[in-house]
Amino acid sequence: MIKNPLSELNFIEGEVLLFDKPFKWTSFDLVRKVRSQIRKNLGKSKIKVGHAGTLDPLATGLMIICTGKKTKQIEKYQATEKEYIAKIYLGATTPSFDLETEVNKKFTIGHINRELIEEILNMFVGEQQQTPPSYSAKWVDGQRAYKKAHQGIEVAMKPSVVTIHEIELLKVNLPEIEISIKCSKGTYIRSLANDIGIALNSGAYLSGLRRTKIGDFEVEKALQVEEFKLTEAEKPLI
């Protein structure tokens, strides 16, 4: 893994790059930006670039971008454990389970305290069935689920088995809490937030999310998008 200098990278033979995805960027936005920079400097119109795990537009944090022959390793990185810092707003829900859509229901939180939150969070540690949000990139009948949801089409999402390895309550500032999560591939933190709200006999949605780790890779070692600018003096190996 090389963060700098960019001149030492060989994008065709393959590189594994770490990026800190900006807020409101899609995962494809980041892939497209990296691919454009590489193509521009190599003078080649075709080069493989892909990511090892989607992040929602409203989330920030670690994304792994693979180039060239290293794209064959994407599935290996996707299968590793992920770590997140999540902010969860209690007492309301949204159709998307996050801030992408407006609040549709409100609930009381007068009965909720730190002790109850910690008790409920412990219930989610371990293997469980989790239903993905209808506003997600899951394929349903040949179309992304979120496209159907935005059209007002009811989407029946199938649950899948995920594992929550650890949950830690970091902050309580009601109506918002902050937690850290270590979880398996395929875990939707938005769904976890919604399920936590139900378990608290209230409602909840994800109000902030940052991915901090994928396997052994940490966001602290990631590039900011603006750092990935290849100049003539930094022309990479081909």
Q: Which residues contact 188 (CB under 8 A, 6 or more apart)?
A: 97, 130, 132, 133, 136, 162
Q: How many CB atoms lie within 10 A of CB 99?
A: 15
Q: Catalytic pick from 20, 56, 98, 195?
A: 56
Distance of alpha carbon 95 from its chain centroid, rounded?
A: 18
Q: How many CB atoms lie within 10 A of CB 185?
A: 15
| Catalytic residue list contains 29 | no
Nearest 10 degrees: CA dihedral of 118, 123, 129, 130?
Answer: -10
Q: Which residues contact 189 (CB under 8 A, 6 or more apart)?
A: 84, 86, 181, 183, 206, 209
Copy the structure tokens of residue 167.
Answer: 């949950």
Q: Which residues contact 62 (CB under 8 A, 6 or more apart)?
A: 18, 19, 20, 21, 211, 212, 213, 214, 217, 218, 219, 222
Rounded CA gap, 205 and 203, in Å? 7
Element (H, E) at 173: strand 160-173
Kindly list the catalytic residues.
56
